[in-house]
Amino acid sequence: MAYPLVEGNIGENCILNGCKVRFDSPEGQNLFIPTEDITYYESVRFQNGVLLFWEDHMQRLHKSVEAKENFPIDPDTYHFASESLVWESGMADGNVRIVITKYLWLVYLSNMSYPTEDMYKEGIVTTSLTWERVEPHVKVFRGDYKKAVAEASSRKTSFGMPYEVILRGNDGKFVEGGRSNFFVLYGDTVYSPSEDLILIGITRKYVKDAISEAGLKLAEGAFTMEELVKMEQEEDDGPPKMGLFVTSSPFDILPVASIDEQKFSSADCPALQKLMASYQKIVHEYIDTHAHVDSF
């Protein structure tokens, strides 16, 4: 399914093949026309003017291209263009999207829905979608997938409108989020599905470091709704032992308060709270060590 190169853009300009282009120009308007070209992308969050985990995003971009068409990419040029747009915008925090095809590259500021403070404290509402992704480790635009996730996101649950969609395979086991990785923390172990079933998120890499920092263990595992409910019901009278959470660049670690019509006590899990704090420590250390290079 054809898909446009630009969606959810903010600001008046983008950088196309090294040149500043206005979105309202004829050349800029062409970017909103759906294309059949294979389109690769990375969304990079910036905080305090620092492009977070840039090197990891570019490594994943390279792997995605290598898996499909194997043409050269130029991370240094994309970095300079991204910094230029961030500096020009005057924004300290936001999101940059890098989009490339075999024939062009494009950088623009994108509108990203960031979680509210209450979402971190109380958890998010989610809904489920049965969907087995094709080549989940390759990050390209797939129109049918984006349409299915958008439709699922529009279905209100008894807890409210979903903030994220949790995908499950035909076996009923939850695998990942529509725009995130999905984890199950139980006791002192964090479970994640086999890596060949999911897109390896950039945040996921640093969450794995935070898991170790928080004194937890990481194991491979995926669960059905019935299994998750049983684990939730096994709780004793103490604090919750289970915490479901999703991770991605736009929202770091978010507790999951519900999936469809099932409620979970994730946000009250002490081990998850400790993990979230450990992850934020890693983010702040990255910003501190890169501010002298990337800051504007």
The 10s digit of each residue's pLDDT in 199-229 is 888 999 999 999 999 999 999 999 999 999 9
- 296 pLDDT exceeds 50? no
**Is the domain defined by 13-109 classed in CATH 3.30.470.10?**
yes
High-pLDDT (> 70) share of the chain, %: 97
- 281 pLDDT exceeds 60? yes
pLDDT at site 237 = 73
- Amino acid at the residue 74: D
Across the range 240-248, mean pLDDT stands at 95
Stated pTM of the model: 0.86
CA distance 83 to 75: 12
CB-CB contact of 133 with 177 (8 Å): no
- Give residue-wise pLDDT tens across range 103-122: 999 999 999 878 999 999 99
- Give residue-wise pLDDT tens across range 126-177: 999 999 887 777 777 787 888 899 999 999 999 999 999 999 999 999 999 9
CA distances to 34, 81, 192, 241, 262 from 174, in Å = 31, 38, 10, 19, 14
Domain segments of the chain as ranges: 13-109, 117-284
pLDDT at site 294 = 47
Asked whether the CA dihedral 226, 118, 204, 107 is positive or negative, the reply is positive
High-pLDDT (> 90) share of the chain, %: 82
pLDDT at site 292 = 55
pLDDT at site 295 = 44
pLDDT at site 39 = 95
Q: Which CATH architecture has domain 117-284?
A: Alpha-Beta Barrel (3.20)
